[in-house]
Structure 1
Amino acid sequence: MGEQVKKALFVQFAEVFPLKVFGYQPDPVSYQAAVGWLELLAGLLLVLGPPMLQEISNLLLTLLMMGALFTLASLKESLNTCIPAIVCLGLLLLLDICQVLVQTKQLVRPTRKKTPGAFKESWE
């Protein structure tokens, strides 16, 4: 996709920016740069960061994908245009659910004390 096409898209995206109802409408070029850097940074942290930063980056990417879907829906884009954002959002939510399940399993798992087996003596 050419740079001019991307800039034209972000002009449209800025027009339906979710915070516009509060009187804030970003500059399209700054908006494009901010989204690009946030996606890059959050993606790197998701892959390479410690667990706490992975959770934060997952949340940030989830919010960005929700914003992308809101924007595409506001522009009445076709479902084909929305599929990449839907797939990314689904994968991020799946990752978040898996992280929660792993943490819950670690918290709930009882610690087993090693005690001599009662049956061990009968086999000897």
Structure 2
Amino acid sequence: MALLFSALRLLLGLFFSACGLLKLTDRFSAELHLQLKSQFVQFADVFPLKDFGYKPEPVRYLEIVGWIEVVAGFLLAFGPQLLQEISNFVLTIVMIGAIYTLLVLKEPIAMCAPATVCLGLLLLLNIRGRGRSAKSKFE
């Protein structure tokens, strides 16, 4: 079972890193990168902190999310346990933000599915990690 969770962590980390790279560069898919740029214009309009007077510049927002995904994904896949847990938490926050954004924009439920699945897998890894830590305390 531990091997299954290690494989899930590795694949999920690599997935997030790849998604982050797509946000940062057009070398892999120019069309997708342009689509992401236009989506982040909408995402910036409904940024959760907008009510407090902060609205991010869309291209900067795209770059920051891209870098967070690349770094946190890499650490989730290859980092030591503490950094895996921190990156899991960071990516969980990013996915909650993504779901919030898509719901506020009233996007079709199918648009929320990838972020929801990723959030579920991150929570599964987190719960599994917590269970392992609690178990080792009692042994």
Instruction: With the length of structure 2 as denominator, give the TM-score of the two structures.
Output: 0.76
One of 50, 68, 75 as aligned partner of 1:20: 50
Runs of 4+ in 1 over 3 A off after TM superposition: none
1:3 Cα offset (Å): 3.0
Instruction: With the length of structure 1 as denominator, give the TM-score of the two structures.
Output: 0.85
Aligned to 1:29: 59
1:94 has 2:124 as partner: yes
Higher RCO, Cα 8 Å, sep 6+: 2
Deviations 1:31-64 (A, max 9, x none): 0010011001000000111111111000000000
Aligned to 1:115: none
Unaligned runs of 5+ in 1: 110-124
SS of the counterpart of 2:55? coil
Unaligned runs of 5+ in 2: 1-30
Aligned to 1:75: 105
- CA-based RMSD: 0.8
1:89 Cα offset (Å): 0.0
Aligned to 1:9: 39
Q: Which amino acid aligns with 2:39?
A: L
Aligned to 1:84: 114
